Amino acid sequence: MTDHLVSLAQIQEARPFVAARVHRTPVLSSATAAGYVERATGVQVADGRVYLKAEHLQKSGSFKPRGASWKIESLTPEERSRGIITFSAGNAAQGFAWAGHAAGVPVTVVMPASAVPSKVAACRDYGAEVVLAGGHVGEALQELERIRDSRGLTYCHPFDDPRVIAGFGSIGLEILDDLPEVDVVVTGIGGGGLISGVSAALKESRPLVRVYGVEPEHSNAVSLAVERGEVVQIQPVSIADGLGAPFAGQWTLAMVRHYVDGIVLIDDPLIMAGMRFAAERLKQVLEPAGAAALAALLAGRIPLRAGDRVAVVASGGNVEISRLGEFFAGATALPGA
């Protein structure tokens, strides 16, 4: 699968274009989070702080516009005029909707009928046509194929595409700019596009960096694919809809196998604990998918060494506000609390 690897050169090529169109998100830090990590693991991290790459403050509320913008830039004039179509539980849909609007390209997004209402509304506000189909993302794919073929739209994959992955890789380069001596970076995993781009950018620039991914235990398409050595289909079940990909892709499977040091599975109550910690102690609102990496770190699930400088990618903040109380109430107690 070495032919399915995105290079550092491709990520560096994407970076200026992406940087001109999206926010340069800050790296936040927390001594409180570092204290939780130490109590959970017995390990003291560098600087006495955990660092948080704040992609939940990105345009459209997640990291997705980075890859979507770079993908749309590659379209021919004819493809632009016809429009594009993609599928998503929410964040990729919003990312492509925003990027398409910014580029003047019509966008159709196919989302499961169970999609978070606020994410559906945001896509429509960006001018995208939203089609709700099926009970989950996997079922929505059949409707996507029908619409694509009937209208002649260009299919833009939300994660398994080299340009999308390269756009996401700009996050890794920004982390290195702000934390040149970073030792460990943790991200959530859905279809694997984010961790593919970030890990390639980090490992090819600073080979000793360790990169870990976090999946919901019942939404683990990537870890299953890594274990079996091939793409597998699943029916994802988790409150973290942003990590609910029904499969890994050929590109993301190859990238994860090549660059990622390990994948950790966590349950929904722990994900909710990460959300609650972010709101109570960091004053940041994260959606479940955006809090999963932080939750795993706080719970001591990420392998650390004394003195590691640790960064977490907070990948999204598109939470259904009306459910925050439910999420917080369902949170498990963190070991370091």
- Active-site positions read 64, 315
Buried b (16+ CB within 10 A) or exposed e, 134-145: bebbbbbbebbe
> What is the SS3 string spanning the chain?
CHHHCCCHHHHHHHHHHHHCCCCCCCEEEEHHHHHHHHHHHCCCCHHHCEEEEEHHHCHHHECHHHHHHHHHHCCCHHHHHHCEEEECCCHHHHHHHHHHHHHCCCEEEEECCCCCHHHHHHHHHCCCEEEECCCCHHHHHHHHHHHHHHHCCEECCCCCCHHHHHHHHHHHHHHHHHCCCCCEEEEECCCCHHHHHHHHHHHHHCCCCEEEEEEECCCCHHHHHHHHCCCCCCCCCCCCHHHCCCCCCHHHHHHHHHHCCEEEEECHHHHHHHHHHHHHHHCCCCCHHHHHHHHHHHCCCCCCCCCCCEEEEECECCCCHHHHHHHHHCCCCCCCC
Residue type, 280: E
Region class of 48: left (phi > 0), else alpha (psi between -120 and 50), else beta:
left
Longest dimension (CA), the chain: 58
What distance in Å separates the CA atoms of residue 18 and residue 60, rounded to the nearest whole number? 14
